[in-house]
Amino acid sequence: MTFEIQKRLVSRTGHLGRAGVIHTPHGDILTPAFIPVGTKASVKAVLPESIAQTGAQAVLANAYHLYLQPGSDVLDEAGGLGKFMNWQRPTYTDSGGFQVMSLGSGFKKILSQEFAGKPADDNAVARGKERLANVDDDGVWFRSHLNGVRHRFTPEISMRIQHELGADIIFAFDELTTLMNTRAYQEESLERTRRWAQRCLRAHKELTHSRADKPYQQLFGVIQGAQYEDLRRKAARDLGSMEIDGQQFDGFGIGGALEKYRLGTIVGWVCEELPENRARHLLGISEPDDLFRAVENGADTFDCVNPSRVARNGAIYSPDGRFNVTRAEFKRSFTPVVEGCECYTCTHYTKAYLHHGFKAKEMITYTLATIHNEYFTVQLAEGIRKAILEDRYEEFREETLGRFYAKKR
């Protein structure tokens, strides 16, 4: 058994939320949990040891980027992702599908042209730029964003790459759609992703057998369907019941484009259809309100680049909301970056120091800000877990969100 439910969340939102544990060869992941993103086998500007000190239980790297540089074969020879990057805890890799079909495409990821009253576009050209990715039923041709060289990804190639990367949890190859695509194209894409999922299961079983000396890697199927309830539910049922040569998905990723205000609803549709005894990972979210909505509706783990990305621009998370430490008011603020925070940054440095560092463009500042933001997000997910286990989830949610978003109200 790779996933166990420890306690269900019973609240006004229903019974989908839960605290659990994911078992991997490199340790257990106690859920709900936030998984920091180390895209290229590195959380930007931060040592793996420092990420471990934030309480992070795992990191997620990107198959597309590592395939292009340095190559999945290099990581395989090095002993896998964890050993290569000196990370002793569990690891995830995504399939590369998101990057293959989004980088350079010229498509917005959130705003639907249909909903905005603009014509939908399923063609290969957007805003006068050639799309770098071209999809067919067998796979995707794409051009590297590094040098323009043409490459091919198929379900089988994605599985081979991720087996060579050696992460504990890997994802099936799926087609990314956006809210700009028509309903007809969403249906076509969903069927393509379903067939690719079958091929991923078959390839995963074959690779697991041929690489029997390696630890078992859990394969998560990815649920698409944009904002259509029937498509999301169908995808969840299809992948939840899918079995190829005795191989099933060990868990599921919830992906694809959606509008923020519908996140909880869409996660709920999916989780109502998925098997309860397998983990669910929500791709690409980290804001406090999103974490609570996702947990309430059945998601177990989450990843997002946002905590580190905004940190490098001086944005700092605090219980009272986000603030920018580069503002003039912090030039002589010789108090901890966030009062009461126990992360390395806040117990050793002041807002004045970070303010100076950003103004002077000192690299250490990016490191210190990232450590804090990752700590904040990891600890928020841990706080949600504890609140579920201690039957005080509702109170924790209201207190946390009421304080974080108070200035916006």
The 10 Å CB-count burial string (b at 16+, else e) for 262-286 is ebbebbbbbbebbbeebbbbbbbbb
Closest CA to 253 of 214, 220, 275: 220
Q: For residues 223 and 257, is the Cβ–Cβ distance under 8 A?
A: no
Measured in degrees and rounded to the nearest 5, phi and psi for residue 234 equal: -65, -45
* Token output for 217: 């890697």
DSSP string, 296-341: HTT--EEEESHHHHHHTTTEEEETTEEEETTSGGGTT--SBSSTT-
303 is catalytic: yes
Q: Please pick, among 76, 121, 174, 303, the residue that the annotation labels catalytic.
A: 303
Q: For residues 253 and 221, is the Cβ–Cβ distance under 8 A?
A: yes
SS3 letters for 355-372?
Answer: HHHHHHCCHHHHHHHHHH
Non-local (6+) Cβ contacts of 306 within 8 A are 286, 287
Cα-only R_g, the chain: 21
Specify burial of residue 208 (Cβ count, 10 A radius: 0-12, 13-18, 19+).
middle
Q: Are strands 321-324 and 315-318 parallel, antiparallel or unpaired?
A: antiparallel
* Token output for 61: 């790297």
138 is catalytic: no
Q: Please pick, among 94, 121, 168, 300, the residue that the annotation labels catalytic.
A: 94
Residues with active-site annotation? 94, 303
